[in-house]
Amino acid sequence: MSSGNCFINEGTVTGYQDKKQAIRTQTQIGVSSEKLLSNFERSGKRCRGSVSGSLCAICGKIAAANATLSVTGREFNLTTSKPREENLAPLSYRAAGVDIDAGERLVENIRPYAKRTLRPEVLAGIGGFGALFEISRKFSHPVLVAGTDGVGTKLKLAFESGKHDTVGVDLVAMSVNDILVQGAEPLFFLDYFACGKLDVDTATRVVKGIAAGCEQAGCALIGGETAEMPGMYPEGEYDLAGFAVGAVEKDRIITGATIEAGDAVLGLASSGAHSNGYSLIRKIIEKNNADLSADFHGKALIDVIMAPTRIYVKPLLELIRHVPVKGLAHITGGGLLENIPRILPEGLTAVLKKEAWEMPPLFAWLQREGNVADSEMHRVFNCGIGMAVIVAPEYMDAAMQVLQSTGEIAWRIGTIRGRRADESRTIIE
C-alpha cells in the first residue's frame, strides 16, 4: 500500500453530509474513485489529506493498493506502481517499426542511378544534409522557376498491379513539364518517398524510375527524403512528392502575354492518361470489373493504363531555341478545357477542332465503358494532347518541322480568336 497526498477540490455533494460520507457510501455500492470525483462540484479549495491505507484521513478518498491519487485543478491522474519485471527486452527503433539499416541500404541502392543524372553544376548531392548546385554561367540573368507535384491515385493501381518501375517517371514529368511552360530548363529534382514499412526493393524500383525521368528531362536528382512512418500507411503502400527547380533568362520567360487572335494552337501527343483522372479511371475499372490483363491493342490493358507520362523538356527547349513560342500549356489536371485558358490574355478563347488529332483508344474505351460525356472527358483527361504550343501563324510550319525532327507527334489542333460574351475560354468543336 502506498501513501502520498490527495488533492481533491472542496465542493457540495447533493444528498450527503460531506464528501467523506459520500465516498464511503458510494464505494460500498461499487462506484470507482474516479467516478466519485465527477460527482463533486469543484469550488477551487483543495484537500491535502494524507493517503495511507485505503482512505484519505480528511476527505475519505479511496487509495488503491500500490497507487498514488492526485487531482490538480480539473485533471485526475491515477498512476499505479507495478513491481519492475526482471529481464525486460530493451526497445529499439526497429522494434517500433523503423528500420534504419533498410534506409541505408536504399541509399546505397539508388546512388548509382542518381549519379547518372548529375550535371557539372552539382557540387554536392545525395548523402549530405543539403545538396549544392551552382548556377551555370551560361545564364546572364537567370530566374529560378520551381514546381512540385505528385502522382495521385495512379499509385493505387501501382500497388494493385505491382508496377512500381514507371511511377517515378510520372513524378518527374508532372513537375518538369510544369516549369517548362515558362521556358525554364529543369536543373535539379528532389523527391519525397513516404511509407509505413520500407520495402527496399520496391523503393529502389520507384527511385530508379525517378532517376530515369530526370535523365529524360536533363536534370540532376540531387536529393530526397525517405520517410518510414509505422501506422501511417497500409502495408505495401506509399506516397510520392516531387520538387523541380529550373532556370530561364529573365528576358525569355514565356508568359502568354503576346498571344493574340489568329495565333495557331499546336498539340503534342500524350503517351496516355499521364497522371490525371485516375480516380475516374479506377471507378470505371471497378464498375465494369475490367480484366486488366486482357489484350488491348497489342498490350495488356494495365500496361496501357500505367504508361508513364511523356516528358517534353528536350523537344520543347529545342523548339524555343529556333522559334518564338508565345505560350505553352501543360495539359494536366483540368484537361483541355481548363489548362489552355491559364495562359491566355483576357478577351481571347482557344477554338480546338477535335477531328484535328487522333484520340488514343484508351480514351475511347474509358468514355464508352464509363458512359462519360464529351464535356467531362475534355475537363478530366488530356484526350491525347499532353502539351499545347501557341505560335504566330507564320511560324507554324517551322515549329512543326522542329517538333517532328525531335521525334514528337504534333498536330495543328486549333486557333486563337476573340472571345464573345459569356463564352468559354476553350471551345472544342
Please give the model's pTM, rounded to 2 decimal places. 0.79
User: What pLDDT does 2 receive?
Assistant: 38
User: What pLDDT does 286 receive?
Assistant: 96
User: What pLDDT does 48 receive?
Assistant: 42
**Distance between CA 210 and CA 188 in Å, rounded?**
12
Burial class from Cβ neighbours inside 10 Å (0-12, 13-18, 19+) for residue 217 reads buried
User: What pLDDT does 264 receive?
Assistant: 98
N residues, the chain = 429
User: What pLDDT does 89 receive?
Assistant: 77
Domains of the chain: 4-80 (no CATH), 100-252 (3.30.1330.10), 264-428 (3.90.650.10)
**Distance between CA 178 and CA 329 in Å, rounded?**
8
User: What pLDDT does 125 receive?
Assistant: 67
Which stretches in the chain have pLDDT values below 50?
Answer: 1-59, 61-81
**Distance between CA 191 and CA 193 in Å, rounded?**
7
**Distance between CA 314 and CA 320 in Å, rounded?**
10
Q: For the segment 16-53, what is each residue's pLDDT rounded down to a tens digit?
A: 344 444 444 444 434 444 444 444 434 343 444 444 44
Element (H, E) at 209: helix 200-217
User: What pLDDT does 64 receive?
Assistant: 44
**Distance between CA 330 and CA 14 in Å, rounded?**
72
Task: Please check whether residue 191 is in contact with residue 210, taking contact to mean a CB–CB distance below 8 angstroms.
Answer: yes
Element (H, E) at 386: strand 385-391
The torsion region of residue 383 among left (phi > 0), alpha (psi -120 to 50) and beta comes to: left
Q: Which DSSP string do the residues of 251-318 spell out, in sequence order?
A: GG---STT--TT-EEEEEEPSSSTTSSHHHHHHHHHHHT--TTSEETTEEHHHHHTPPPPP-HHHHHH
Q: In the chain, what is the straight-line distance between the N-terminal and C-terminal CA atoms, in Å?
A: 86
Q: What angle do CA 308, 311, 312 make, to 5 degrees?
A: 150
